[in-house]
Amino acid sequence: MLHRNAPREDFHAGKWNGLGGKCEPDESPLEAAGRELAEESGLELAAEAFRPLGVLQFPAFKPAAAEDWLVFVFTVAVPPAQRRREMPCAEGTLHWIAREKLLELNLWPGDREFLPLVLEGKPFIGSFWYRDGALARRWLQAL
């Protein structure tokens, strides 16, 4: 998990997020996942290591910027020997968190809804609506 503690104005400041980011032009969600993993963790893994698991919509997630987010969720198994401890990146510091401790972190409320499905390896689709940083509405379905 990435602890968003970088010393700059950040919409996610203080929250813990999975690794990821926005797709570059002409980049597929899988290619973006691989690039973001490398940028935020230093790990470069083959495309075959990534397992698509879910799709999430966050309408007007950043209202000031009028941004609707469409998130593609992938999982990847990283051998312990390849994990680097507390690696800093532009957004914050990477920490390897035990699965049973994930829901104890300062997460976005919607993340608490879908993370159990991620941990169980169950495919899903959903939408999360926020107002003033609070979860206002949700729809989540395991597939």
Domains and CATH numbers, the chain: 2-142 (3.90.79.10)
Highest mean pLDDT among 5-19, 52-66, 67-81, 127-141: 127-141
pLDDT recorded at residue 76 = 94
Q: Are 108 and 117 in contact (CB under 8 A)?
A: no
Tell me, what DSSP letter sits at residue 102?
G
**Sign of the torsion angle spanned by Cα atoms 34, 13, 130, 118:** positive
Q: What percent of the chain has pLDDT over 70?
A: 90
State yes or no: pLDDT of 105 exceeds 90: yes
Residues in Cβ contact with 64 at an 8 Å cutoff, skipping those fewer than 6 apart: none
pLDDT value at 123 more than 60: yes
Tokens of 76: 């990847």
Q: In the structure, what pLDDT confidence band is assigned to residue 53 with cuts at 50, 70 and 90?
A: very high
Residue 93 phi, psi dihedral angles, 5° rounding: -120, 130
* Mean pLDDT value of segment 67-91: 82
3 state DSSP class of 121 = coil
Max CA pair span of the chain: 42
Q: Write out the two tokens for 117.
A: 């499905």
What are the backbone angles phi and psi of residue 98, rounded to the nearest 5°? Answer: -65, 140
* Tokens found for residue 7: 């010393």
pTM exceeds 0.75, yes or no: yes
At residue 79, the pLDDT reads: 76
Kindly state the average pLDDT of the residues 74-94.
78
More confident residue, 67 or 25: 25
Task: Report pLDDT for 136.
Answer: 96
Does residue 85 have a pLDDT over 70? no
